[in-house]
Amino acid sequence: MKITSAEFVMSNSDVAKCPKEPLPEYAFIGRSNVGKSSLINMLVDRKSLAKTSGRPGKTQLINHFKINQNWFLVDLPGYGYARVSKKDKKVFQKYITAYFEKRKQLVCSFVLVDIRHEPQPIDLEFMEWLGANGVPFAIIFTKADKLKPGAIERHVNTYLNLLLETAWEEAPPHFVTSSSNRMGKEVLLSYINDINES
């Protein structure tokens, strides 16, 4: 898919106020610092459509971007940032939960994980929650440029095997990406395009 336009539409913390247009929507979420903003900017070929996190944990809003006039890319806040207070965490959980439960336009949500790291309980629990609530999701492994090809395969297999051994009967769709060398960009955009056209 060629990106011909990418425009910021709105930020808010209330799912009821999200755009009313019935366009298919794809959400990106993951732990703070996972590389989400960099990935979004790489996908849409913009240097700073999504703000990279100088201050992790501070971009606590649901951000809608309209792409090619026919789908929404949604940048959700990073989770698991240790310095966010308990009260903020509760507020965060409430509106993000509401977003996933109520947003009918949501077609797929991409959960980002750093390919270098062992599977983290917070990510695994979040995926289980998505599954239990019937929210389709795919995994995006980020920062693949940090590993050699053999290690990429090993880390991905370890991750997927763990999912299969625990909660899942089949592995979710997954993508290996790097914003540094643009790995995975076309595959991911084709995945979105194919769903949009089906």
Based on the number of CB atoms within 10 Å of its own CB, is 51 exposed (0-12), middle (13-18) or buried (19 or more)?
Answer: middle
Find out whether 103 and 130 touch, Cβ atoms under 8 Å: no
102 is a contact residue toward ligand GDP (CB under 6 A): no
60 is a contact residue toward ligand GDP (CB under 6 A): no
Contact with ligand GDP (CB under 6 A): which of 6, 9, 23, 52? Answer: 52
State both tokens at 67. Answer: 């792409």
33 is a contact residue toward ligand GDP (CB under 6 A): yes
34 is a contact residue toward ligand GDP (CB under 6 A): yes
155 is a contact residue toward ligand GDP (CB under 6 A): no
Provide the H-helix boundaries in the chain.
36-43, 86-102, 121-132, 149-165, 185-197
Distance CA(108)–CA(20), nearest Å, equals 18
109 is a contact residue toward ligand GDP (CB under 6 A): no
145 is a contact residue toward ligand GDP (CB under 6 A): yes
Based on the number of CB atoms within 10 Å of its own CB, is 76 exposed (0-12), middle (13-18) or buried (19 or more)?
Answer: buried
Question: Shortest gap between Cβ of 31 and ligand GDP (angstroms)?
Answer: 7
53 is a contact residue toward ligand GDP (CB under 6 A): yes
Find out whether 60 and 13 touch, Cβ atoms under 8 Å: yes
Question: Shortest gap between Cβ of 144 and ligand GDP (angstroms)?
Answer: 7
Residues that bind ligand GDP (CB under 6 A): 32-38, 52-53, 56, 78, 142-143, 145-146, 178-180
